[in-house]
A = this chain, B = another copy of it.
Amino acid sequence: MTEITVPNPDRFRDLRAVVVNTTLKRSPELSNTQGLLDRSIALLRANGATVDTFRLVDHDVAPGVMPDMRDDGWPTDVWPTLWPRIAEADILIIGSPIWLGEQSSVTRRLIERLYAHSSETVESGLSPFHGKVGGVLVTGNEDGVKHVASSLTFSLQHLGYTIPPNADVGWIGPVGPGPSYLDDESDGPETDFTNQGTTFMTYNLLHVARLLKDAGGFPVGGNQPEAWSEGERFGFNAHPQPTQPQSEPTQTANPEHD
């Protein structure tokens, strides 16, 4: 029989999480996505972690892919005040609604502005995102949790986040229009599948954040962009012996790649 293991909350007491809700609804409108995010936030706090949370749509964030779009001609841009809240957190959870099967325009704006910092490097030579972990919570009426989660976890790992197992959690109702997560008739908050997934994702984020923090950040070695651009190749051999069949590898009539 499996021994049930509950982590010691002291284990995570120094970890910081930021939870960004990319709903289209400004406060104080009720956000169903926030309803699901609150479940993870409560569990993070119960485990001793510090949690910061905001809705991106409440803030005047300019379109673009530069760290401060006022340098690019936009009259206002509050992203420079939001970025430090993300940069100092060990864990990022993005909450996204689904519209027509996709993440929202506000979700995409978050990714675009994070992307603006992707070529920055910190003291280790890695990006400000390395050493952090990311996960996604998605809500919608009917369809699209996996598709939205796939795009977002992809974006996060591309930036430098590490993605723990089971970082794609969400709630949707049956196919077609219907109640939303917080509607009384949806039983959203009682959905066992979503509750289990939220719990497991939250702990998996904590676990990997712990490992990376204890390692002093993402391990350095073989992965520094500036070193590569200066000519270091970290043992990469540009012309290795191939594993291809050696006895007359026959390129067939097939004119295509693959």
Contact = CB atoms under 8 A, between A and B. Distances in A.
Copies of the chain in the assembly: 4
Contacts of A165: 129-130, 157-162, 218, 223
A130 B167 CA distance: 13
A90 to B, nearest CB: 14
Interface in A165-181: 165-168, 170-177, 180-181
A154 B155 contact: no
B240 A41 contact: yes
A106 B258 CA distance: 12
Given A100-B111, A102-B151, A150-B150, A163 B158 contact: no
A154 B150 contact: yes
A84 interface: no
A30 interface: yes
A246 B98 CA distance: 25
A140 B23 CA distance: 27
A249 to B, nearest CB: 5
Given A63-B106, A108-B108, A72 B204 contact: no
A257 B176 contact: no
A201 to B, nearest CB: 9
A29 interface: yes
A171 B257 CA distance: 11
Nearest to A207: B219
Q: Residue among A41, A43, A53, A226 with the most chain B CB within 10 A?
A: A43
Given A112-B104, A233-B199, A190 B238 contact: yes
Contacts of A5: 125, 220-222, 224, 227
Nearest to A109: B105
Contacts of A220: 5
Closest 3 CB pairs of A and B: A176-B193, A203-B222, A101-B146
28 contacts: A2-B123, A2-B125, A2-B227, A4-B230, A5-B125, A5-B222, A5-B227, A28-B245, A29-B249, A41-B240, A42-B240, A46-B235, A63-B104, A66-B253, A72-B252, A72-B253, A72-B254, A73-B252, A99-B108, A100-B155, A157-B164, A157-B165, A172-B175, A199-B234, A202-B222, A203-B221, A207-B218, A207-B223
